[in-house]
Amino acid sequence: MTEVRIAGVGLTRFGRHPDRTGRDLFAEAALRAFEDAEVPRADVEGLNYGNFIGALAEGQGHQAPLMAEAAGLRCPATRYEEACASAGVAVREAVRTVRSGEADVVLAGGMERMTHVDTPTTTRGLATAADDLFEVRSGVTFPGAYALMARAYFDAFGGDRTDLAHIASKNHANAVDNEYAQYRREITVEEALDSPPVATPLHLFDACPITDGASAVVIVSEAYAEEHGLDAPVAVTGTGQGTDRMALGDRESLTETPAARDAATAAYEEAGIGPEDVDCAEVHDCFTIAEVLAIESLGFAAPGEGIRAAREGFTTADGDLPVNLSGGLKAKGHPVGATGAAQIAELVRLLRGDHPNSEHVDDATTAIAHNAGGTVASAVVHVLEVAE
C-alpha cells in the first residue's frame, strides 16, 4: 500500500461570519492549505468535501462542484454527509483513495455556516442527525440526549458536574492562544458550574457553540511528496470507521460508544500501535460528557475512569496525554461539516511544531483524531504519525 502524507492544512477562524458565504469560507481554507502544501491546484485529482446542513441553513444543495470551483479546482468532487463526522469521513475516503494508488493528490475538508439563521432553525437542522421517528418527534434534542448519557454515566460510575466543569475549563484554556478558535478566553471551574442549565446535568459551558468555519487538508502519496520535494512530515498511518444504532433507546448501553471503539480498534490495528503509544489527541467534545466517552472508547481510560481525567490532570496541556489542545469543539468551535478535517489540521500543526500549543507536546510523534456524528451513531478515528 502507498504511504499517505499530509502536505498542507488550512483553516478559517471559527466563529460568526454573518457576511460571508460558505463558498468564500471554503475558498479561504483551501487557499491556506495549498499555500502550506506548495502543491499546485492542477495536480489535485479529487475533492472530498464534508457538509451537513447546507441545504437547510443556506438553501444550497449540490455543494461539491460549487466548492471545487471556489477552491480553483477542475476535478471530480464529492460531498460527504455523516452529520458531525462529515469531514472526518471525507478525510478517511481521501486517505483510502491515495493509499490504493488511485490518486496521488486529494483535497479533503469541509464547511458549515449556521450563525446567520436563528437558533430554532439551526436546532431543527442539527436534529436531523438523530432518529426522526423515535427521537426527534418525541422532543429529544442533542443537549437532552447527551444529558441522558451523562446521567447514565453518573449512575453507573459516579462523577459529578465538577468533573465536567474541569473539562470545559481545560479546553477553554487551550483555546486562548489558538488564532482559529471561536472563544479565546479562559473560564474557571466555578464559572462553568454557575452557568445556566441547558439539560440537567449539562449547563451552558458543557456545550459547544454554534459556529461557522471551514477546513482543508492536502493529502498526497509518499511518492508524490518525494518526487516534488515536499515538506510533509506527518503521515496518516491508520484510519477506522464505526457505526451504532441511531436512537439511544435502541442501544444496549448509554455509557459506551461502540462506534468510536470499533473505529479506534481498526485505526490502531492498521497503524500497528496501541493507545499507550499516543502522545496527544483531538476528540469530539460536542458536550463535556462526550470527551469522557471518547477517551474511554479510544482506550486512554478504563470504563468509569475517564470522568476524572481532566480533574486529575491526565488530559490537561501538561498532563500525560493532552486532549484537545486546540480548544476542542467546546472552545475552538464546531462548524459541524468542517470539524473532522479541522481536528486533523490542528494535530498536523502540533506534530510539526508550528501550533501555539506545540510546546506542550514537543516530543510528540503520534496523535489521534476522533470525530463523531450525532450521539456517536457514526465515528471516524485517524492515527497520525511523524514519518521516519
Percent of the chain surpassing pLDDT 70: 100
Do 260 and 303 contact (CB within 8 A), yes or no?
A: no
The tens digit of pLDDT for each residue in 79-125 reads 999 999 999 999 999 999 999 999 999 999 999 999 999 999 999 99
Per-residue pLDDT, 261:
98
Q: Work out the average pLDDT over 216-243.
A: 98
The tens digit of pLDDT for each residue in 40-58 reads 999 999 999 999 999 999 9
Whether the per-residue pLDDT at 350 is higher than 90: the answer is yes
Do 384 and 369 contact (CB within 8 A), yes or no?
A: yes
For residues 247-282, one letter each, b for 16 or more C-beta atoms within 10 angstroms of the residue's C-beta and e for the rest, the string is bbeebeebbbbbbbbbbbbbbbebbebeeeebbbbb
Q: Work out the average pLDDT over 224-236.
A: 97
Active site residue 84: yes
Distance CA 332, CA 178 (A): 8
Q: Reduced to 3 states, what is the DSSP secondary structure of residue 376?
A: coil
| 195 confidence band (pLDDT: 50, 70, 90) | very high
Distance CA 261, CA 58 (A): 34
Q: Which of 284, 334, 355, 382 is catalytic?
A: 334
Q: Which of 84, 208, 280, 286 is catalytic?
A: 84
Q: Please report the domains of the chain, with CATH numbers, ordered by start residue.
A: 4-118+209-386 (3.40.47.10)
Ramachandran category for residue 217: left, alpha or beta (phi over 0 → left; psi -120 to 50 → alpha) = beta
| 1 confidence band (pLDDT: 50, 70, 90) | low
| 388 confidence band (pLDDT: 50, 70, 90) | confident
Distance CA 47, CA 67 (A): 9
Distance CA 85, CA 380 (A): 7
The tens digit of pLDDT for each residue in 279-338 reads 999 999 999 999 999 999 999 999 999 999 999 999 999 999 999 999 999 999 999 999
For the chain, the average pLDDT equals 97
Active site residue 280: no
Residue entry with cell 506542550? 360
